[in-house]
Amino acid sequence: MLVIVAPGQGAQSPGLLRPWLEDPTFASRFAWLSTVAGLDLVHHGTESDAETIRDTEVAQPLLVAAGLVAALELFPHPADAFSTIGAVAGHSVGEIAAAAGARVISAEQAMVLVRERGRAMAAAAAATPTGMTAVLGGERDEVLAALGRHGLTAANDNGPGQVVAAGTLAQLEALAADPPAKARLVPLSVAGAFHTQHMAPAVEHLGRLARSVSTHDPRTPVISNRDGRVVHDGRDVLARLVGQIASPVRWDLCMDTMLDLGVTGVLEMPPAGTLTGIAKRAMKGVETFALKTPDQLDAARAFVDKHGEASSIDTTPTWRMVVSPAKGTFHLDEAAAAADVLAPEATIGDVASLRDRTTVTAPHGGQVVEWLVEDGDLVSPGQPLVRLHPQGAA
Protein fold of 319-389: OB fold (Dihydrolipoamide Acetyltransferase, E2P) (2.40.50)
What does the alpha-carbon distance between residue 6 and residue 101 come to, in Å, rounded to a whole number?
10
What does the alpha-carbon distance between residue 257 and residue 241 come to, in Å, rounded to a whole number?
18
Active-site residues, by number, are: 92, 195
Instruction: Give strand pairing partners of 329.
Output: 352, 378
Please give the CATH number for the structural domain made up of 2-124+197-307: 3.40.366.10
Q: Is beta strand 265-268 parallel, antiparallel or unpaired with respect to 2-6?
A: parallel
- Range 243-268 burial, b when 16+ CB lie within 10 A, else e: ebbbbbbbbbbbbbbbebbebbbbbb
DSSP state of 249: B
Could you state, in order of their start, the residue ranges of all structural domains in the chain? 2-124+197-307, 128-187, 319-389
Cβ neighbors of 232 (< 8 A, separation 6 or more) are: 217, 218, 221, 222, 313, 318, 321, 322, 323, 325, 382
User: Is 218 within 8 Å of 232 (Cβ atoms)?
Assistant: yes
User: Is 354 within 8 Å of 364 (Cβ atoms)?
Assistant: no
pTM: 0.86
Please give the pLDDT value at position 313: 61
Q: Which residues of the chain have pLDDT under 50?
A: 315-316, 393-394
Question: Domain 128-187 belongs to what architecture?
Answer: 2-Layer Sandwich (3.30)
Please give the pLDDT value at position 226: 96
Please give the pLDDT value at position 392: 56
Residue 298: other Cβ atoms inside 10 A: 9
What does the alpha-carbon distance between residue 359 and residue 378 come to, in Å, rounded to a whole number?
15
User: Is 95 within 8 Å of 241 (Cβ atoms)?
Assistant: yes
End-to-end CA distance of the chain: 35
In sequence order, what DSSP letters do the residues of 292-337 get, joined into one string? -SGGGHHHHHHHHHHH----TTSSS-GGGEEE-SSSEEEEE-HHHH
CA nearest 382: which of 238, 215, 253, 220?
Answer: 220
Please give the pLDDT value at position 319: 63
CA 224 from centre of chain: 6
What does the alpha-carbon distance between residue 228 and residue 240 come to, in Å, rounded to a whole number?
11
Residue 183: other Cβ atoms inside 10 A: 18
Residue 204: other Cβ atoms inside 10 A: 14
Burial class of residue 361, CB neighbours in 10 A (0-12, 13-18, 19+) = buried
CA nearest 50: which of 6, 2, 14, 9?
Answer: 14
Please give the pLDDT value at position 312: 62
Convert 50-107 into a string of H (helix), E (strand) and C (coil).
HHHHHCHHHHHHHHHHHHHHHHHHHCCCHHHHHCCCCEEEECCCHHHHHHHHCCCCCH
Residue 15 backbone zone (phi > 0: left; psi -120 to 50: alpha; other: beta): left
What does the alpha-carbon distance between residue 129 and residue 363 come to, in Å, rounded to a whole number?
41
Find the helix packing angle between 107-127 and 24-37, rounded to 10°.
50
Please give the pLDDT value at position 315: 45
